[in-house]
Chains A and B, each alone.
Chain A
């Protein structure tokens, strides 16, 4: 049996690590290589790296540097659109490629990635955001619009696709530390056939323990692993060994 995973997420923009709140306000965290080295020493379960630079090319040189500095499993997302790019990133030592918008832009491509490189190489995240009427809808960040499809219909697309894992991303909670939307996460969890993880709003260790007990595969967070103290100063941190034991033990 594999253990529940507590995963720090790093956002990279123009070779700098940043943290956002609701994907808007940006805080500079540091150099990606330095941060990866700290997470290595802290023995984190895994790292997800999302490049949000919005450029047309992938910074392979930086990815190579990141991968060789890392002794922990890595997932990369951001601007991947050809099978050659997927192959290159996996050959650099990244375990998984993360797709989000690509599902709406080019589902066929994601299917081909799974066919060519196996489902274990693909992680899919999707965004949930409340619309004007307070309804939870699938949201496309890149286009800043809601998707005109029922969440259940979207999940059945994912269930056909069978990626290694699915990450439910609560956009309204991102960076707020208000706690995951556990009720909705739980209800969606029951409809997804693969490993399910949650991102957006992690408050403290209790969020992680809750999800573990509810049979989620892991939880993704960035604020709680980036800031500490009342003034929320930048300090890369992770759970200590006693806390990790609570998260890992079955």
Chain B
């Protein structure tokens, strides 16, 4: 099993790589289409802004590579934080179009009265019965934009003030998490293991 962590200059690839290697899987950080095509699982990290993430992926000619892997090869993909948001249709953060695997538009917490950036550790408000996470798990969140809850895709919900948002979304082989598994020590490690083995 080979896991590619897509390097498109917007993410914290190294600690994701270290975590996966700690789990004993073969993994590499890459922006090379051929290497990504030859891997079994793709991880799309993300820190920064929506439009810049899309520009960088376009610039590195990775949009088609990722679409091919997900649509044709049916490879599993995991988007982390902004990496999850770009798997959606669009975001209030920018004008670019996302991959559209989830027909969701990401919203801005700061446009909602008395709500600010979500920052810190949180349990889920509720989660579906999957093998990915358990009720006792807590994860580290740091984000201003969020995916709304949608029954079709949302499998774990978290809350910022009184606003519920999607903490995990899934549609067939496409997975997205709003939290940072690479910054959620044992809980993150466990989540990545469950995702890889899912």
Contacts and interface: CB of A to CB of B under 8 A. Distances in A.
Given A43-B185, A71-B184, A164-B119, A93 B14 contact: yes
Contact of B117 (A3, A67, A164, A248): A164
Interface in A1-54: 1-3, 5, 40, 43, 45-46
Interface string B168-186: 0000000000001011111
A120 B184 contact: no
B26 to A, nearest CB: 18
B185 A95 contact: no
B9 interface: yes
Interface string B157-171: 001110000000000
Contacts of B15: 67-68, 70-71, 93
A1 B188 CA distance: 19
A235 interface: no
A2 B122 contact: yes
Interface residues of B, number: 34
Contacts, number: 85
Give the interface residue-count category, chain A: 20 to 34
Contact of B144 (A64, A118, A218): A118
B69 interface: no
A67 B12 contact: yes
A93 B13 CA distance: 8
B119 A2 contact: yes
Nearest to A119: B117
Interface string B6-35: 000110101101110000000000000000
Interface string A162-181: 00110000000000000000
A95 B120 contact: no
Contacts of A45: 121
9 contacts: A43-B186, A71-B19, A73-B180, A74-B183, A93-B15, A93-B47, A95-B142, A120-B142, A248-B121
Contacts of A152: none
Contact of A217 (B9, B120, B185): B120
A120 B143 contact: yes
A2 B121 contact: yes
A75 to B, nearest CB: 11
A67 B14 contact: yes
A159 to B, nearest CB: 13
Contacts of B144: 118-120
Contacts of A71: 15, 18-19, 182-185, 188-189
B14 A3 contact: no
Interface in B136-158: 138, 140-144
Contact of A73 (B18, B19, B117, B140): B140
B75 interface: no
A92 B12 contact: yes
A5 B19 contact: no
Given A3-B138, A73-B183, A120-B144, A91 B47 contact: yes
Nearest to A120: B117
B117 A93 contact: no
Nearest to B189: A71
List 5 tightest A-B contacts by C-beta distance, closest first. Answer: A2-B120, A93-B12, A68-B14, A120-B117, A3-B121
A150 to B, nearest CB: 26
B184 A91 contact: no
Contacts of A248: 121, 138
B14 A64 contact: yes
A71 B15 CA distance: 7
B116 interface: yes
A192 interface: no
A46 B141 CA distance: 12
B118 interface: yes
A57 B68 CA distance: 44
Nearest to A39: B185
Contacts of B182: 71, 93
